Amino acid sequence: MEKLTDIPAWKALLKHKNKTESVSMRDLFAQEENRFESFHLRFNDILLDYSKNRINKETMSLLMDLAKQSGIKDWTEKMFSGEKINHTENRAVLHTALRNRSDEPVYVDGKNVMPEVQSELKKMREYSESIRSGHWLGYSGKPIIDIVNIGVGGSDLGPVMVNEALHPYGKAGLRVHFVSNVDPSHICDTLKNLDPERTLFIVSSKSFTTQDTIMNAHTARDWLMENSRNETSVAKHFIAVAANVEAATEFGIKEENIFKMWDWVGGRYSLWSSIGLSVAIYIGMDRFESLLQGAYEMDQHFRQAPLEENIPVVLALLGVWYNNFYNAESHVLLPYDQHLHRFPAYFQQGDMESNGKSVTRDGQNVDYATGPIIWGELGITGQHAFYQNLHQGTHLVPADFIVPVDSLNPVGDHHLVLLANFFAQTRTLMTGKNEKEAREELVAEGYSAEEVERLYPSRLMSGNKPSNTILFKALTPKTLGSLIAMYEHKIFTQGIIWQINSYDQPAVELGKKVAANIFDDLKQHRSVEHYDDSTNGLIKYFLENSND
């Protein structure tokens, strides 16, 4: 494998950056009349405007060369066709098979996985309909009204995000709760308001060994037992989603109530599997399938569209441009839709757990930056908080602005005000405010010449801050599916360019192991000396002061 920094396109991009960095976007917009036309793409009802970036046509052409020379198209086919591209775990990466809406078979080790996928979807439909219709009864014969998903990380963030995003489509009278934190407050606060006779727990854990989840599940089961005083109630109130069926059965969940997971689905890509069961119950299976359909259509676009017209590829390349050639260390996601409030958190995991790696596919340490810090918040909230730093701070933070054209709750001018803010921010980030404008503004506000002289520097904004704008018609299950898949493929493309494995997570696993060891020490009240001095000292302090 050729070293990334030796690839001809990489070297050409370095030169190009030095040649073009002094040109501001404001100048570029002044020079090119049709910049929007040149730098926007459309897919179904999604529009990506990437004209407010520090790019010209040559930049994009060189970035496309980088994608080609990195073998994106070949790698894409490898992923879709079930090749074991997660080489450290020797696994295929096939979340795309979970939303494959065609008749095309998908093979893993020579076996078509589609029949199993279809059969799990059928089971999801049966279960979700039975719960939604009130046919599924709790131990005392009452229908279910509260669903609690117990899971963490990839078994939590996806369903949480989608349930929030699609809240307007949820069934009235059903409530979905999520317990992820092993901090007892999370499960205790949740259970406090629930009726054990009408609550269903979904224990979502691919491994079914994650301590946080299993502990929360045990506490939920104890709560149910205390109330029902009947062993058999577990069967009526617990469903599991797990690859480790044996462990789920051992926990006491009936085999027929266990939904399958496969090792070719990574946790942070598992939303499309039965890990999405809480979503299917809440919004109904037809809408869950629309979510899959939206993702499938984006998969087709990613697989088939030429690189230049490929939305995930363009987003990925722009990210590489700032990450590696402008040394931007973070990337911010700014949805302007209340229902998307968990979207940044979801892709914080999706991106950072995938591309936060320092070793290449052939085991070499990288000497360039890989995945950036992903962060974000509802854009409109951020405007009254951290946007000050985006406009006038010293860091370069490329941003994605995301908004629906129509609100699902059209009331008065609310949505127009939201959009006015949305458009104002991307424009101002790009233009900034120059000296002339700052002075004129102060004069218009009535300041004296002397005050203008003193105050104008603090009003200067350098502008030239890059942003992508993503507009879509309305937040429907299908569009949401497409948006999620769009970011997944962006992450994939970047991982290929950076020559890393985006699909393992050794640091997450290490965290689980180290915590399990320390837990044994704490449980046995064992004063320790085998860790570093800081950890030993902290544990000692804890043991001396704990009420346990």
Q: Which residues are known catalytic residues?
A: 353, 384, 512
Question: Which string of DSSP letters, residue by residue, matches 237-302?
Answer: HEEEEES-HHHHHHHT--GGGEEE--TTS-GGGGGGTGGGHHHHHHH-HHHHHHHHHHHHHHHHHH
In angstroms, what is the minimal distance from the CB of 192 to ligand G6Q?
24
Of 213 and 278, which has the nearer Cβ to ligand G6Q? Answer: 213
In angstroms, what is the minimal distance from the CB of 157 to ligand G6Q?
8
CB 259 within 8 A of CB 203: no
Asked if 149 interacts with ligand G6Q (CB under 6 A), we say no
CB 478 within 8 A of CB 290: yes
Q: Which two tokens stand for residue 479?
A: 């569009």
- Bridge partner list, 86: 91
Stretch that binds ligand G6Q, among 28-36, 150-158, 412-420, 470-478 (CB under 6 A): 150-158
Residue 291 burial class via C-beta count within 10 angstroms: exposed 0-12, middle 13-18, buried 19 and up: buried
Asked if 205 interacts with ligand G6Q (CB under 6 A), we say yes
Of 76 and 505, which has the nearer Cβ to ligand G6Q? Answer: 505
Stretch that binds ligand G6Q, among 69-77, 148-156, 522-530, 538-546 (CB under 6 A): 148-156
In angstroms, what is the minimal distance from the CB of 230 to ligand G6Q?
28
In angstroms, what is the minimal distance from the CB of 310 to ligand G6Q?
25
Q: Which two tokens stand for residue 260?
A: 């399958």
In angstroms, what is the minimal distance from the CB of 426 to ligand G6Q?
32
**Could you tell me which residues come within 8 angstroms of residue 210 by beta carbon, excluding any fewer than 6 positions away?**
152, 153, 155, 512
Of 236 and 490, which has the nearer Cβ to ligand G6Q? Answer: 490
Only one residue has tokens 């990195």, namely: 70
In angstroms, what is the minimal distance from the CB of 342 to ligand G6Q?
15
Q: Which of 164, 353, 377, 400 binds ligand G6Q (CB under 6 A)?
A: 353
Asked if 155 interacts with ligand G6Q (CB under 6 A), we say yes
Stretch that binds ligand G6Q, among 7-15, 202-210, 418-426, 435-443 (CB under 6 A): 202-210
Residues in 213-272 at the binding interface with ligand G6Q, rule: CB under 6 A: 213, 266-268
The residue type of 409 is N
Total of residues contacting ligand G6Q (CB under 6 A): 15
Question: For residue 202, which of 223, 216, 183 has the smallest C-alpha distance?
Answer: 216
CB 244 within 8 A of CB 263: no
Other beta carbons less than 10 A from residue 98's beta carbon: 26
Stretch that binds ligand G6Q, among 152-160, 283-291, 322-330, 447-455 (CB under 6 A): 152-160
The footprint of ligand G6Q (CB under 6 A) covers 152-155, 205-207, 210, 213, 266-268, 353, 505, 508
